[in-house]
Amino acid sequence: MLKHKRQEETQCYTNDLHDALMPKSGTKFWKCWNSKFEKGNKCCKYIDGMADDVQIAEAFAEHFRKTSTSLNEVQNSHLKFQYADRRKDYVGDPLTDTYIFDAELVEAVCCKMKLGKAAGLDELTVEHIINSHPVLISILARLFTLIIFVSHVPYKFRLSYMYTVGLTLPKEDNIYKRNTVDNYRAIFISPVISKVFEHCVLTKFSKFFNTSPTFHHVCLAFSLMT
C-alpha cells in the first residue's frame, strides 16, 4: 500500500504539471511547480554583503549603469555623428492608406499578447485593454496612426522600470560570494500601450526591417545551445 501511494503521489504531480504545460502557459506551469516543490522562502537576504534595501538598490543601479555605458566613447561619438549625417537627408517612402493602423490590427495584436504579465508604471496590463470598452481599440488605432504621421513617440512610452532576476549562482559556501550583483540580470517593464504600438509597427512595417546574416547565425547558435 505504501508503494502504491508513493506511485500515486508521483503520478498526481506529473499529471498536474503536464496539464499546466499543455496550454504553453509559463505562468501556470511555474505556479504549479512552485506549489509542489518550492520549499519555504528562498529570497536572497544579502547582496555583496549588504542587507539594507536602499544600499542594495543603489548597488544594482550602479552596476546596470556601467553595463549600459559605452566602452569606447570615441567610437560611440563617431557612430552617432554618422547616423545624424545620414538622417538629415532621409525622406523615406510616402505614408499611404496601406500603412494606417486600423482597429482590426490593434485588436489582433492585443489578443495575441500574453496575459498575466506585470503592469508598467501606469499600472495597466493587457487585461485592462482586452476587458475595456471596444471603443478603446479604435482610439488606440487612431493614436498610433497619428504617432506615425507626426513622427513623434509620446514621452511616457519610453518610461519603464527595472527589476532583477537571479541567475544560476556558483556553488560557494560563503553567501557573500554567491549573492553579488553580477549574478543577476535586469528585466525592464514597459507600458503596455507602448508594447501594443511596437507590435503593430512590427506587423505593419516588417518588410522594412532587415537584419544581417551574422545576426541570424548568432540567434541560431544560441537557440541550439539553449
Q: Where are the alpha helices (DSSP H) in the chain?
A: 2-21, 26-37, 53-67, 73-87, 103-112, 126-130, 135-150, 175-178, 192-205, 213-225
In a domain, 53, yes or no: no
Half-sphere exposure of 86 (CA within 13 A, CB side): 6
Decide: pTM greater than 0.85.
no
User: Is the torsion defined by CA of 19, 22, 28, 30 positive or negative?
Assistant: positive
In a domain, 14, yes or no: yes
Domain count, the chain: 2
In a domain, 70, yes or no: no
Which of these ranges, 31-40, 122-131, 145-154, has the smallest mean pLDDT? Answer: 31-40
In a domain, 37, yes or no: yes
Task: Based on the fold, state whether residues 217 and 113 are members of the same structural domain.
Answer: yes
In a domain, 86, yes or no: no
Range of the domain at 31: 1-42
In a domain, 4, yes or no: yes
What's the rounded Cα separation, in Å, for the pair 39 and 128? Answer: 34
Predicted confidence (pLDDT) at residue 144 exceeds the cutoff of 90: yes
Which of these ranges, 39-53, 71-85, 104-118, 144-158, has the smallest mean pLDDT? Answer: 39-53
In a domain, 87, yes or no: no
Task: State the CB neighbour count (10 A cutoff) for residue 100.
Answer: 15
Place of cell 556558483: 170
Task: Based on the fold, state whether residues 38 and 116 are members of the same structural domain.
Answer: no
Task: Based on the fold, state whether residues 107 and 190 are members of the same structural domain.
Answer: yes
Predicted confidence (pLDDT) at residue 222 exceeds the cutoff of 50: no
What's the rounded Cα separation, in Å, for the pair 9 and 73? Answer: 60
Task: Based on the fold, state whether residues 33 and 136 are members of the same structural domain.
Answer: no
Last residue of a domain, one of 42, 59, 74: 42
Adjacent-strand bridge partners of 188? 162
In a domain, 55, yes or no: no
* Residue-wise pLDDT tens digits, 168-217: 445 454 554 567 887 777 788 889 999 999 999 988 888 777 766 655 55
Task: Based on the fold, state whether residues 31 and 108 are members of the same structural domain.
Answer: no
Adjacent-strand bridge partners of 161? 189
Task: Based on the fold, state whether residues 111 and 194 are members of the same structural domain.
Answer: yes
